C-alpha cells in the first residue's frame, strides 16, 4: 500500500513539473529595446528596427538617449521603420547646425537690421557670458511636434502604443532625469540637447541637456518597465581619440562628451542585455548627418548578422501580432482653442498677433510652425514649446513659454565696400528697457569712416508702434561729376570730397504679418560736403533739412543679398518743409519713390531677380544733394543714392528717374553663386514730361561671384557700361550699413 501511495505522489510531482515547464516554455516573451545616443551615428537604430520587423519581433518597451530618444520615441508613437526613414529625411538633420529662422518670419525692425553679425555675446547683470549653445533646434523640433500630434494627448508614456522613456541630464546638479511623462516631443528635445551645440531646455523648473552625459545606454531603466529580454543597440565608440586624431572641432567636442560616456561602468552595460548589437564604423562621427542612408544601412546590415537569434526571439512571442496601421497625420486642422502659459510680460493679444492665429481658423502645421518661428524671432523667449491635441479635424494649440532673462547682447561683425571702406561693426542691443515690448539697437562701425545707427522701437505688432532713430554716415570720395549726367556742379569735383549725413527721425508704424509695414514720421537731416584737400580745405555745402515722410513696405525676400524667392515693394514719400543753407532759395516740395522686386527659382540651382524703381520730385526748385543719383555696384542705398552697374558712385543725377534690372544666379555649390545682371535707367528733370521713357537710356551690365558665409555675404562684381570707358571692379563683404 505504501508503495502505491508513493507512486501516486511521484506521478503527481512529475505532472506538476511538466506543467510548470510547459508554462515556462509557453510564456510570452516581453522584449525591451535600448537605444544609445551618438548623434548622427544613431541613424543606425532605424536600420536595426527594419531588421527587427523583418524578423517578426514585437517590441514591448523602448528606452533611449539623445538620437536614440528621437528614433525610439517615434517608434513608440506607432511609426514603422520605413515611416521613420521618411521622417528622418524630412527632418533634414543635415542642416541642424545651419538652422536659421526664415527671414519672412522675423519682425520688420529685426528683418531690416539682422544677419549683420558674426559673434554674439549675451550680457546679463552687466557681465559678459558665452552662449549656451549654437542652436535651439527649432526647425527639427517643430516637425517632431507635427509627427507626434497623434499622441499629444498622452501624458504618461506608458500609455503610448509602446511604453517609452528617455534620459536627460539636469544641468544644475548633473543628476540623471528619467522622462516618462509630459509632452513626448519636448522630452525628446531635452534628451537630444547635445552639450554646447543645442541650447538647454527647461522642463518642470529643471534645465536639461543631453542624457548621454549621465546614462547613454539606459539598460536598467528599460528592464524596470517589465522587459524579460533586452536588445541593446549601442552606436557609441568604446575608445577615446588619440592626440594625433584630435585635429578638428568635431572630434574635440566628441572627445569632451565621451569622457562622461566611456567609463568602466558604462563599458560593462553590454553584458546586461541579452542581445548586444553594435553598428559602428570609423567612417562616421557624431555630426555625419549627411550620411543618413549609409548609416541606416550600416545598422540594418549589422542587425542581419544576428538574424537567427532575432527569429528565435520572435518565436517566443506567442501573443497575436498587433495589426499594423499607418499613422495618420493631418496636415490641416481647425483651431479649436489656443492657450499660452509662462508669459508674464506679453499678453495674449501680442502673442496671437505674432503667431497670426485665431480660433476657428483653418491652418496647416507649416503655418503653425511659422507662428512658432515668429515667437522665437522676437528673441523675447528662451523656450517656445508647442503641442496640438487633436479632436477629429479640430486641434487645441498649447504653447509653453519661458521668457528670456538675457535681455542684452553685444554683437560683432565686419563690413567692407568701395565707398565706406572697411570697418568692424559693433552692436549693443537690449530689450525691456522701459516697456515690456521695447527694443534698443545701437550699431557703430569703427574703421576708416566712422558711422552709427541707434534705433529705439516699441513693438506693438499690428497696433501703432513708435520709434526714434539717429544715424550718422560719412565717406570720402574722389568725385568726378560729369555735367552732362549729374546735377552736381563741377566745383564738387575734388579728389577728396568728404560727405556726411546726420539724420534723426521720429517714427510711427503699423505692421501686418511681419512682412508688411506702413508708417509715417518727421525727419531732420544735417548734410555736409567738404573739400578735404589740405590746400583747399573748406566746406562747400552744409544744410539742415526738415521733412515729413510716409511709407509702405512689403518684404518677403528669403535673403537680403542673394534672394531665391520672395517679393519686395516700397512706396516712399517725403514732404520737404524747410531747408537752411546760403546757396539756393527754398520752397517746400514733395518727392516720391516706388521700388519693386521679385525673386523666383528656375529649377533647383537657378534663380531670377527682377527689380524696378522710380523716383519723382514734384518741383523744379530742388537741391542737388536731395536729387536722385545713380551709380556704383555696392547696393549702397544711402538716402537718394542708388546703385547702377558700370558707373561710378552718384555719377548720374536728376530730379526724377526710372530704373529696371534683372539678374540671374546659379548656385554652383551650397550658398555659393555666380551670376549675370543687366540694368537700364533714364534720369531726367521730369521723366513724365514727354513719356519718352526709352530715350537717352543708360545701361549697365555685370558678372558677379558671391557666397553666403558664416562671417557674412561676400560679393565680387565686374561691371561695365557702354557710355563709360573702363569696367569697374568692386568687392563687398558683409551687409550694407
- Provide mean pLDDT across the span 667-674: 91
CATH of domain 31-99+153-316: 3.40.1090.10
Residue intervals of the chain classified under CATH 3.10.20.310 are 332-403
Which DSSP string corresponds to 37-75?
A: --GGGGGHHHHHHHHHHHHTPPP-EEEEETHHHHHHHHH
pLDDT, one tens digit per residue, over 270-318 is 788 999 999 987 788 777 888 899 999 999 999 999 999 999 999 998 7
Q: Which residue has the higher pLDDT, 147 or 119?
A: 147
Q: Read off the C-alpha cell for 138.
A: 527649432
Residue intervals of the chain classified under CATH 2.40.160.50 are 408-734
For residue 224, what are the contacts with CB-CB under 8 A and spacing of at least 6?
none
**pLDDT at residue 674, as a whole number:** 96
| Residue 639: closest CA among 540, 715, 736 | 736
Q: Read off the C-alpha cell for 500.
A: 556726411
Q: Read off the C-alpha cell for 671.
A: 550658398
| Residue 112: pLDDT over 80 | no
For the chain, the distance separating the N- and C-terminal CA atoms, rounded to the nearest angstrom, is 112
CATH of domain 332-403: 3.10.20.310
| Contact (CB, 8 A) for 500 and 540 | no
Backbone angles phi, psi at 609, to 5 degrees: -125, 125
pLDDT, one tens digit per residue, over 588-642 is 889 999 999 999 999 889 999 999 999 999 887 667 778 888 888 766 557 788 8
What does the alpha-carbon distance between residue 706 and residue 714 come to, in Å, rounded to a whole number? Answer: 5
Residue intervals of the chain classified under CATH 3.40.1090.10 are 31-99+153-316
Answering whether pTM is above 0.95, one says: no
| Residue 311: closest CA among 287, 275, 281 | 275
| Residue 139: pLDDT over 80 | no
Q: Which fold has domain 408-734?
A: Porin (2.40.160)
Q: Residue 533: which pLDDT band, with cuts at 50, 70 and 90?
A: low
For residue 655, what are the contacts with CB-CB under 8 A and spacing of at least 6?
487, 616, 617, 619, 620, 622, 627, 628, 684, 685, 686
> What are residue 388's DSSP bridge partners?
397
**pLDDT at residue 238, as a whole number:** 62
Amino acid at each position: 500500500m505504501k508503495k502505491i501511495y508513493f507512486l501516486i505522489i511521484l506521478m503527481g510531482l512529475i505532472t506538476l513539473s511538466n506543467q510548470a515547464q510547459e508554462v515556462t516554455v509557453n510564456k510570452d516573451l516581453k522584449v525591451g529595446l535600448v537605444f544609445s545616443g551618438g548623434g548622427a551615428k544613431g541613424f543606425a537604430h532605424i536600420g536595426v528596427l527594419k531588421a527587427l520587423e523583418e524578423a517578426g519581433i514585437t517590441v514591448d518597451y523602448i528606452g533611449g538617449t539623445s538620437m536614440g530618444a528621437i528614433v525610439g520615441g517615434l517608434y513608440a508613437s506607432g511609426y514603422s521603420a520605413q515611416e521613420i526613414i521618411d521622417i528622418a529625411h524630412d527632418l533634414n538633420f543635415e542642416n541642424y547646425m545651419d538652422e536659421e529662422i526664415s527671414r519672412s518670419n522675423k519682425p520688420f525692425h529685426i528683418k531690416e537690421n539682422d544677419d549683420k553679425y558674426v559673434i554674439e555675446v549675451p550680457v546679463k547683470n552687466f557681465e559678459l557670458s558665452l552662449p549656451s549653445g549654437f542652436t535651439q533646434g527649432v526647425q527639427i523640433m517643430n516637425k517632431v511636434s507635427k509627427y507626434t500630434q497623434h499622441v499629444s494627448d498622452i501624458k504618461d508614456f506608458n500609455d503610448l502604443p509602446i511604453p517609452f522613456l528617455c534620459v536627460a541630464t539636469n544641468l544644475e546638479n548633473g543628476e540623471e532625469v528619467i522622462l516618462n511623462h509630459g509632452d513626448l516631443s519636448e522630452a525628446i528635445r531635452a534628451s537630444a540637447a547635445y552639450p554646447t551645440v543645442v541650447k538647454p531646455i527647461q522642463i518642470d523648473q529643471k534645465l536639461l541637456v543631453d542624457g548621454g552625459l549621465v546614462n547613454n545606454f539606459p539598460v536598467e531603466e528599460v528592464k524596470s518597465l517589465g522587459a524579460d529580454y533586452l536588445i541593446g543597440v549601442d552606436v557609441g565608440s568604446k575608445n577615446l581619440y588619440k592626440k594625433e586624431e584630435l585635429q578638428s572641432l568635431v572630434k574635440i567636442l566628441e572627445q569632451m562628451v565621451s569622457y562622461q560616456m566611456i567609463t568602466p561602468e558604462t563599458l560593462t552595460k553590454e553584458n546586461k542585455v541579452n542581445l548586444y548589437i553594435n553598428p559602428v564604423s570609423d567612417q562616421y562621427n557624431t555630426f555625419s548627418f549627411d550620411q543618413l542612408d549609409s548609416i541606416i544601412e550600416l545598422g540594418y546590415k549589422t542587425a542581419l548578422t544576428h538574424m537567427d537569434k532575432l527569429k528565435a526571439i520572435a518565436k517566443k512571442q506567442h501573443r497575436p501580432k498587433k495589426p499594423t496601421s499607418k499613422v495618420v497625420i493631418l496636415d490641416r486642422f481647425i483651431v479649436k482653442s489656443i492657450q499660452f502659459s509662462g508669459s508674464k510680460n506679453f499678453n495674449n493679444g501680442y502673442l496671437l498677433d505674432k503667431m497670426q492665429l485665431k480660433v476657428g481658423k483653418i491652418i496647416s502645421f507649416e503655418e503653425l510652425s511659422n507662428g512658432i518661428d515668429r515667437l522665437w524671432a522676437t528673441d523675447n523667449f528662451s523656450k517656445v514649446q508647442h503641442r496640438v491635441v487633436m479632436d477629429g479635424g479640430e486641434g487645441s494649440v498649447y504653447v509653453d513659454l519661458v521668457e528670456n532673462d538675457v535681455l542684452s547682447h553685444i554683437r560683432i561683425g565686419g563690413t567692407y565696400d568701395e565707398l565706406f571702406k572697411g570697418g568692424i561693426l559693433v552692436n549693443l542691443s537690449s530689450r525691456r528697457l522701459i516697456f515690456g515690448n521695447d527694443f534698443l539697437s545701437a550699431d557703430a562701425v569703427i574703421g576708416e569712416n566712422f558711422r552709427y545707427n541707434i534705433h529705439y522701437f516699441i513693438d506693438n505688432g499690428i497696433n501703432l508702434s513708435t520709434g526714434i532713430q539717429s544715424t550718422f554716415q560719412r565717406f570720402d570720395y574722389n568725385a568726378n561729376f560729369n555735367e552732362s549726367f549729374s546735377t552736381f556742379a563741377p566745383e564738387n569735383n575734388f579728389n577728396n570730397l568728404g560727405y556726411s549725413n546726420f539724420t534723426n527721425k521720429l517714427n510711427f508704424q503699423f505692421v501686418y504679418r511681419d512682412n508688411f509695414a506702413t508708417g509715417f514720421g518727421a525727419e531732420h537731416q544735417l548734410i555736409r560736403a567738404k573739400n578735404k584737400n589740405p590746400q583747399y580745405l573748406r566746406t562747400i555745402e552744409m544744410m539742415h533739412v526738415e521733412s515729413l515722410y510716409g511709407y509702405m513696405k512689403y518684404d518677403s525676400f528669403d535673403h537680403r543679398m542673394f534672394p531665391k524667392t520672395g517679393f519686395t515693394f516700397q512706396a516712399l514719400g517725403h514732404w520737404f518743409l524747410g531747408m537752411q543753407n546760403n546757396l539756393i532759395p527754398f520752397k517746400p516740395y514733395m518727392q516720391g519713390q516706388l521700388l519693386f522686386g521679385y525673386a523666383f527659382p528656375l529649377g533647383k540651382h537657378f534663380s531670377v531677380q527682377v527689380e524696378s524703381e522710380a523716383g519723382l520730385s514734384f518741383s523744379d526748385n530742388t537741391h542737388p544733394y536731395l536729387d536722385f543719383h545713380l551709380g556704383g555696384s555696392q547696393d549702397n542705398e544711402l538716402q537718394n543714392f542708388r546703385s547702377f552697374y558700370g558707373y561710378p558712385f552718384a555719377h548720374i543725377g536728376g530730379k526724377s528717374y526710372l530704373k529696371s534690372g534683372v539678374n540671374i544666379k546659379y548656385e554652383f555649390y551650397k550658398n555659393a553663386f555666380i551670376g549675370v545682371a543687366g540694368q537700364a535707367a533714364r534720369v531726367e528733370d521730369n521723366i513724365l514730361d514727354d513719356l519718352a521713357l526709352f530715350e537717352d537710356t543708360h545701361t549697365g551690365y555685370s558678372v558677379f561671384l558671391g557666397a553666403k558665409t558664416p562671417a557674412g555675404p561676400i560679393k565680387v562684381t565686374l561691371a561695365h557700361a557702354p557710355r563709360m570707358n573702363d569696367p569697374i571692379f568692386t568687392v563687398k563683404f558683409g551687409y550694407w550699413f
